[in-house]
């Protein structure tokens, strides 16, 4: 039987009460434990840095040449937090509610409330690390809206939010590497999990430079490898697609949850021909100021596809801003799945644009008129440049063309409230698990989950497990389980 270990009591008090009831490891004893962290994206880097700061010995593994090359770097639009800087009605409960509702109630409520609760701390943590969030004229942190919310709660660094957050976590990790508390193994792929007496006690890795198979022991193993990422034809292939670690853990007894729950992203650059195998994602933050539309009639759409008319030739009264028309409360900021379905509907009606007809317009003309081109360039400039390089069209002059595409698979390894899998001592953080973002379709939540798990959850919960081991002895790296597991991976 699965036991989620969700504590009793009111939702808003679960995490606070649970933290007090968790066992602690005193500072002198923390030095006796070694923790393995697989993956060095936002979840892995933040967890490794936090645990090392507490005094644990940490080993990190990534298959890139540097932790800063983790796929978290590709996130564009922002990170949510219930700071209510805009004084527009946001709150921890509203962020929790939007996240649960946006994920069709497939996320675990207690985990998501904790996520909303920790969100306010994440921003302070990142600002202290020097993350260059966008700021208003007076110096206060700026916010913008994102799909599925009626408030402005998304903190951002232009269209490079994931990169800047990762650099903040990476700098904290580097500090611990310099201090000798973290030993970093780059260009290493996890091949298998070592289980001794039912507990995770190490991993088998391959050095991707030399090909050498190695065994590494630890008192606990943290998988922070990102979503396992089914690869679809013409998808954004958004995740790092490192299924090895999660799949090996599954074969050792870790359960999956929601493994087929697939997110469709509405803001992809459309397919242009049969030479493509994947598509490029444009940040959902563009829907904050861009207006989505298609011609009202099939005839006008046909002329656009043939090149007889340009987008700017279509009169205002002949445009159908279909999201604003159908969902006036949210407008262009409806949740991703709603925006995606509606774009497909108008294309199926024959009103799609572009040469293939599989596209709708995302128009910034009104935003440029309202704010000025320089302001738009400051908010979205790198995204506009990326679009122009790919399409050879200037989005400052003509509307972008977008269309839905498969983004990634949102399930992952099953975890309890402590982020532990069904294998004792094996934890799963960030998008690699199913609990928070794993069943959530709202943008700017993945970054929130990764940093919440790494900075504010695992330092408490892993200590509870280690304190319960009843021994500070190092893991025996000569245990037969290491050699047996290693032999299974000589292929």
Q: Tally Cβ neighbours within 10 Å of residue 99.
A: 28
Half-sphere exposure of 444 (CA within 13 A, CB side): 35
The region, left, alpha or beta by phi > 0 then psi within -120 to 50, assigned to residue 381 is alpha
CB 203 within 8 A of CB 216: yes
CB 406 within 8 A of CB 434: no
Q: Which residues of 283-296 are buried (b: 16+ CB within 10 A; e: fewer)?
A: bbbbbbbbbbbbbb
Which residue among 336, 351, 401, 441 is the active-site one? 336
Active site residue 144: no
* Sign, CA torsion 135/128/119/10: negative
CB 264 within 8 A of CB 340: yes
User: Which residue, among 235, 267, 297, has the nearest Cα to 401 in the 3D structure?
Assistant: 267
- CA 211 – CA 461 distance, rounded (Å): 35
DSSP class per residue in 316-367: GGGEE-HHHHH-TTTGGGS-HHHHHHHHHHHIIIII--TTTS--EEEE-HHH
Q: Tally Cβ neighbours within 10 Å of residue 490.
A: 9
Catalytic residues: 336
């Amino acid at each position: 039987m699965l036991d989620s270990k969700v504590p009793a009591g009111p939702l808003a008090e679960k995490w606070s009460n649970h933290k007090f009831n968790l066992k602690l490891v005193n500072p002198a004893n923390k030095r006796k434990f070694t923790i393995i962290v697989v993956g060095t994206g936002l979840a892995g880097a933040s967890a490794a840095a936090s645990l090392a700061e507490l005094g644990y010995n940490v080993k990190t593994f990534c298959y890139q040449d540097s932790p800063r090359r983790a796929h978290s770097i590709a996130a564009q639009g922002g990170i949510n937090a219930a700071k209510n800087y805009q004084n527009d009605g946001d709150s921890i409960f509203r962020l929790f509610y939007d996240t649960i509702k946006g994920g069709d109630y497939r996320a675990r409520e207690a985990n998501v409330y904790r996520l909303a609760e920790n969100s306010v701390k994440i921003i302070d943590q990142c600002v202290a690390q020097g993350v260059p969030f966008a700021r208003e004229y007076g110096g206060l942190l700026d916010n913008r809206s994102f799909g599925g919310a009626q408030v402005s709660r998304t903190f951002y660094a232009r269209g490079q939010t994931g990169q800047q957050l990762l650099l903040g976590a990476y700098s904290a990790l580097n500090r611990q590497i310099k201090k000798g508390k973290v030993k970093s193994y780059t260009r290493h792929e996890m091949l298998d999990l070592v289980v001794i007496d039912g507990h995770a006690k190490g991993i088998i890795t391959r050095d991707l430079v030399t090909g050498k198979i190695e065994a590494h022991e630890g008192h606990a193993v943290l998988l922070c490898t990102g979503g396992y990422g089914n690869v679809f034809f013409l998808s954004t292939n958004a995740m790092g697609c490192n299924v090895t670690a999660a799949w090996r853990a599954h074969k050792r007894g870790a359960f999956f949850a929601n493994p087929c729950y697939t997110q469709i992203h509405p803001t992809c650059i459309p397919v242009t021909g049969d030479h493509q195998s994947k598509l490029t994602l444009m940040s959902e933050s563009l829907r904050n100021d861009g207006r989505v539309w298609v011609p009202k009639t099939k005839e006008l759409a046909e002329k656009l596809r043939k090149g007889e008319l340009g987008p700017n030739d279509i009169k205002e009264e002949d445009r159908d801003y279909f999201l604003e028309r159908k969902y006036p409360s949210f407008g262009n900021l409806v949740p991703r799945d709603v925006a995606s379905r509606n774009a497909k509907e108008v294309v199926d009606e024959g009103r799609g644009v572009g040469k293939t007809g599989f596209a709708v317009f995302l128009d910034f003309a009104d935003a440029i008129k309202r704010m000025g081109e320089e302001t738009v360039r400051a908010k979205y400039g790198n995204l506009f440049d990326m679009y122009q390089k790919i399409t050879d069209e200037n989005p400052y002059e003509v509307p972008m063309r977008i269309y839905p595409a498969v983004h990634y698979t949102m399930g992952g390894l099953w975890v309890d409230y402590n982020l532990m899998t069904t294998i004792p001592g094996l934890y799963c953080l960030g998008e690699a698990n199913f609990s928070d973002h794993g069943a959530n379709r709202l943008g700017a939540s993945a970054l929130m989950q990764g940093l919440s798990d790494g900075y504010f959850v695992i330092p408490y919960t892993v200590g509870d497990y280690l304190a319960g081991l009843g021994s500070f002895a190092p893991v025996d790296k000569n245990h037969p389980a290491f050699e047996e597991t290693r032999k299974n991976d000589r292929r």
